[in-house]
Amino acid sequence: MAAAPVWSVDPRTGKQREQVAVEATAQEVDSAVRAAHAARSALADRTVRAAFLRTAADRLEGAKEQLVEVADAETALGPVRLTGELARTCYQLRAFADIVDEGAFLDVVIDHPDDTATPPVPDLRRYKVPLGVVAVYSASNFPFAFSVAGGDTASALAAGCPVVVKAHPDHPGLSELVAALLRRAATEHGVPEGVVGLVHGFEAGVELVEHPLVAAAGFTGSVRGGRALFDAAAARPVPIPFHGELGSLNPVVVTEAAAAERAEAIGSGLAGSMTMGVGQFCVKPGLVLAPAGAAGDRLVKSLTEAVSDTDAGVLLDHRMRDNFLAGVAERAALPDVESPVTPGAGGEHSVSPGFLTVPADRLATGGGAHDLLLEECFGPITVVARYEDDDQAKAVLSRLPGNLTATVHLSTEEAAGEGRGAEILAELTPLAGRVLVNGWPTGVAVAPAQHHGGPYPATTSTSTSVGGTAIERWLRPVAYQNAPEALLPPELRDDNPLGLPRRYDGRLER
């Protein structure tokens, strides 16, 4: 049987643009993984790795116009958004190059023998080594930053791990272009092209996570797809780490005092956040707890006006559009659910934004049809739950699953320490990996202190996929005991020939 073709599709029209590849067979997946495995030694030199990452960023920037043009044709995200995302992706590659140069990620610790300790301490030297080949599953909604050259790939290469990327079907043409640029950058530094593999097709994705030479996996996508791959990774004869980002509601709590102080600003800010990127951000605020009463009414009025002024947009593909329309209809039909601005079809290929409101007591107890409102609906929609008192809001929060983010809007006095501000922050902390005050979760800065992850189902692990510490996912610690100095890797020798930051007999050395 001939391999199925992989087509590039224009989401604005639903028409096929061109065939860019064919779905990979099991043999082709095996070849890609083995080529990546063979490239490991070429990444052993940190200087080479850092130079490779910087050259990759240079090559992407040099092809910016072509890349943005193809990305827009396949995703309809628009040149402005895509140009910014490409810049972020290049910055991320260079940031990981800096991390590689610094070397702190190796976490070098050296303890010399101490016979006076109880029990006695032998000579111990510990650092981190790369896991091996990493399978990367591209996301639909970030064709640059969470795709072939995205954070999973950049952090894995920085750790010294080759990658095999499973391309997302929504941007296969772009995936091929980016992979070619990364391979070109690799060969400029003597690294084999196989260090970045690329495969297409659903079955290829399953074959990839089950391949015995794949040592770890990074995924961004749906709960259903991610959980299936997570279970497959755990069911292997040798289970592997699976770092999956699956789904998030990203709750927002607006206190009564905050609504009284600036309801209009909160309403307009919410509208901008929940419609950004046609509601296709993983950190879109999908549930808002707002007070009942006059202040909450003002907030809803402001939100209504702002969302009504927002144009319809095109989702990443027609399957997502169908799911969005079905999800909106099912939620809007629930008892006591109202739709001040009805989300739905904005045209044959587009959707219009909107939001739903519901009394919070419908969500405070479980087991009913209204639990659907506590599940993510991908697209430009949010649910505003109106609470009567603090206990009702707390009851809703207690029923939420894990999230990437949780946000609270406080009044000036509450932010200064008066009232329940600290208490609400404590209530939100168990729910999310990033807790925001008086802001909006859309927009994830690439910074050393960033954490983009959260309790399940937001992610399947406690790690982050954004920021410098994302590199830790692809490393494992090794300790050497009483090893002769001449046999030790240079990272662990007393004279520190590589000039690495380390903890040496309890003292931090930089």
Distance, in Å, from the CA atom of 174 to the CA atom of 180, rounded to the nearest integer, reads 10
Distance, in Å, from the CA atom of 231 to the CA atom of 361, rounded to the nearest integer, reads 35
Residue 92: which CATH number? 3.40.605.10
Distance, in Å, from the CA atom of 474 to the CA atom of 469, rounded to the nearest integer, reads 10
State residue 510's pLDDT score.
Answer: 84
91, part of any domain:
yes
Catalytic residue among 90, 161, 282, 377: 282
36 near 194, Cβ under 8 Å?
yes
Look up residue 114 and give its DSSP letter: B
276 near 241, Cβ under 8 Å?
no
311 near 275, Cβ under 8 Å?
no
Shared-domain flag, residues 241 and 344: no
Shared-domain flag, residues 234 and 261: no
Shared-domain flag, residues 160 and 259: no
With tokens 């890349």, the residue in question is 67
Shared-domain flag, residues 300 and 285: yes
State residue 367's pLDDT score.
Answer: 76
Strands 502-504 and 507-509: antiparallel
Catalytic residue among 85, 176, 207, 245: 245
99, part of any domain:
yes
Alpha carbon 23 to its chain's center: 25
Shared-domain flag, residues 277 and 240: no
5, part of any domain:
no
The boundaries of the domain holding residue 388 are 251-437
Shared-domain flag, residues 32 and 128: yes
Shared-domain flag, residues 68 and 178: yes
* AA letter at 45: D
**Mean pLDDT (10-residue bins), the chain, 510 residues:** 88 95 97 98 98 98 98 97 98 98 98 95 98 97 97 98 98 98 98 98 97 98 95 97 96 98 98 97 97 97 98 95 96 97 92 98 90 96 97 96 98 93 96 98 94 97 96 98 97 97 95
Residue 391: which CATH number? 3.40.309.10
Shared-domain flag, residues 131 and 50: yes
448, part of any domain:
no
Shared-domain flag, residues 152 and 239: yes
Q: Per residue, what are the HEC states of 325-366?
A: HHHHHHHHCCCCCEEEECCEECCCCCEECEEEEEECHHHHCC
Distance, in Å, from the CA atom of 130 to the CA atom of 160, rounded to the nearest integer, reads 6
**Rg of the chain, C-alpha, whole Å:** 25
With tokens 């925001």, the residue in question is 436
Distance, in Å, from the CA atom of 230 to the CA atom of 135, rounded to the nearest integer, reads 12
Shared-domain flag, residues 192 and 269: no
Number of domains in the chain: 2
457, part of any domain:
no
Shared-domain flag, residues 309 and 348: yes
Distance, in Å, from the CA atom of 207 to the CA atom of 229, rounded to the nearest integer, reads 10
233, part of any domain:
yes
Is residue 282 part of the annotated active site? The answer reads: yes
Is residue 264 part of the annotated active site? The answer reads: no
Shared-domain flag, residues 125 and 262: no
428 near 206, Cβ under 8 Å?
no
What's the start-to-end Cα distance of the chain, in Å? 59
180, part of any domain:
yes
Angle between helices 151-159 and 46-62 (to 10 degrees): 150
491, part of any domain:
no
Positive or negative, the CA dihedral 68, 69, 75, 77 is positive
Tokens of 27: 């043999």
